[in-house]
Amino acid sequence: MPFYDRPAARPLILCAALGLLSFGLGAHAQTSADAAGDEEAIPFALPQSGPFTPAEIDIENNQAITDWFRSAHANAAAEAFSHWDDDGEIRPACATCHAGEGFRDFHGLDGTAPGVVDGPIDVGGVVDCGTCHNEGLAEISEITFPSGLVHPVTGVEASCLTCHQGRAAGATIVAAIDGLAEDEPNAELRFINPHYATAAATWLGGYGAAGYHYDGQDYSGRFFHARPVASCNSCHEPHTLEVDFEPCLTCHEADSPQDIRIARQSYDGSGNTSVGIQSDIEANAEQLMAMIQAYMGDVVGAPVIYDGNRYPYFFADANGDGAIDMVDGRPVPYAAWTPRSLRTAFNWKLVTADPGNFAHNPQYSLELLYDSIEDLSEPLGVDMEDLDLLR
């Protein structure tokens, strides 16, 4: 993300950070007068705790700092970090992934009991250095996922897998729809959001069980890829977070990650195998969304409108006029969920909430989409043969 896209407040902080870089550390010249001599108040978007407080950072860290500073992890203005500003504190349930301080509290790296955030965390935190550079990380040997899976980890992987695992899984859906009639709207049901940037959940595939799994189907497990591609940081530079495309070309021939394809068959019925596997995933996701909408409108008789920019994304359109119903100036969340629409919408959101799905686990993504399409084909009277999809 180029930093010229950033809100106006950012360059100021950047100047402060650059001041830090050129003046060296321990130089407090760039701090505001009332903050002089008070480390806590130095106006950097830099960590306030962990082994990397501004004054402790070595000059050799300049590149890491500069790279990190321009990354999404340091973007204090992002919704993911500023969402709680009006509340003045981050709730424990959210703090683990939305502030380095909360992360350390959750894993007991701050000396408190592990497995729980003890109380609200101050706003203003980002994914700071001490989140990943922390001696305590070495002692974390497993991470629990929303599906209940307990996955063994080593080193810094513990950090990525904690925060990029999402907040709900197929098991959450199973519990919500248990015993309910497949196609009967139930006012108790609400859309279940897998949450965001769920890369680790996609990556672990059927073994991670992030998706809603259909009885009798097998799901591809973790995407092992090929050595030396072994974990998140094999592809993502841990500070810029960007994917360096050059190394991919050792094994792949393509113009961009999105253009990479190994599969020789077409999954989306287009027959086109000259495009990246991402294209098949995208096409099937579109197909699934169209069928979810058709099912809600034609079978359930309660039309829906999807708005990707507004939580909870699915809204009511009772009269089917193509506009979201409003009450008291607020959009009305969709409330005619059936078990079938809830599980298929969950799988759709899980796959599409991960922009790297094609690299994290293309097979698992395709399987979840196919099975969900098949699930809806029955009440819609669609012949799967006609769609010509591959699982």
Residues 362-391 that bind ligand HEC (CB under 6 A): 362
Name the minimum Å distance from CB 45 to ligand HEC.
9
Does residue 351 interact with ligand HEC by CB under 6 A? no
d(CA 39, CA 216): 59
Name residues contacting ligand HEC, limited to 294-313 (CB under 6 A).
none
User: Of 261, 340, 343, 349, which one interacts with ligand HEC (CB under 6 A)?
Assistant: 261
Name the minimum Å distance from CB 377 to ligand HEC.
24
d(CA 280, CA 292): 18
Q: Which residues contact 62 (CB under 8 A, 6 or more apart)?
A: 21
Extract the tokens encoding 123: 């706003």
What is the contact mask toward ligand HEC in residues 36 to 55, using x (rule: CB under 6 A)?
A: ----------------x---
Name residues contacting ligand HEC, limited to 126-155 (CB under 6 A).
127, 129, 131-133
d(CA 28, CA 19): 9
Stretch that binds ligand HEC, among 26-34, 113-121, 322-330, 359-367 (CB under 6 A): 359-367
Name the minimum Å distance from CB 370 to ligand HEC.
14
Name the minimum Å distance from CB 48 to ligand HEC.
12
Stretch that binds ligand HEC, among 25-33, 87-95, 291-299, 374-382 (CB under 6 A): 87-95
On whether the CB atoms of residues 201 and 171 are closer than 8 A, the answer is: no
Extract the tokens encoding 100: 């380095």
Conformation bin of residue 304: beta by default, left when phi > 0, alpha when psi is -120 to 50: beta
Does residue 168 interact with ligand HEC by CB under 6 A? no
Residue nearest to ligand HEC (CB): 356
For Cα atoms 90, 96, 98, give the angle at the middle one, nearest 5 degrees: 60
Name the minimum Å distance from CB 332 to ligand HEC.
20
d(CA 364, CA 358): 9
Name the minimum Å distance from CB 81 to ligand HEC.
7
User: Of 263, 299, 335, 387, which one interacts with ligand HEC (CB under 6 A)?
Assistant: 263
For Cα atoms 121, 122, 125, give the angle at the middle one, nearest 5 degrees: 100
Can you list the pairs that 86-91 forms with residues at least 24 positions away whose Cβ atoms lie under 8 Å?
87/123, 88/123, 89/120, 89/121, 89/122, 89/123, 90/120, 90/121, 90/122, 90/123, 90/125, 91/120
- Number of residues forming the site for ligand HEC (CB under 6 A): 73
Give which of 253, 288, 252 is closest to 268, Cα–Cα.
Answer: 288
Closer residue to ligand HEC, CB minimum distance, 49 or 231? 231
Distances from the Cα of 216 to the Cα of 204, 207, 221, angstroms: 20, 15, 16
Closer residue to ligand HEC, CB minimum distance, 138 or 251? 251
Does residue 352 interact with ligand HEC by CB under 6 A? no
Closer residue to ligand HEC, CB minimum distance, 27 or 181? 27
Closer residue to ligand HEC, CB minimum distance, 28 or 91? 91
Name residues contacting ligand HEC, limited to 185-214 (CB under 6 A).
195-197, 199-200, 203
What is the contact mask toward ligand HEC in residues 228 to 247, using x (rule: CB under 6 A)?
A: -x-xxxxxx-xx-x-x---x
Extract the tokens encoding 241: 């977070």
Extract the tokens encoding 228: 């030396």
Sequence letter at residue 120: P
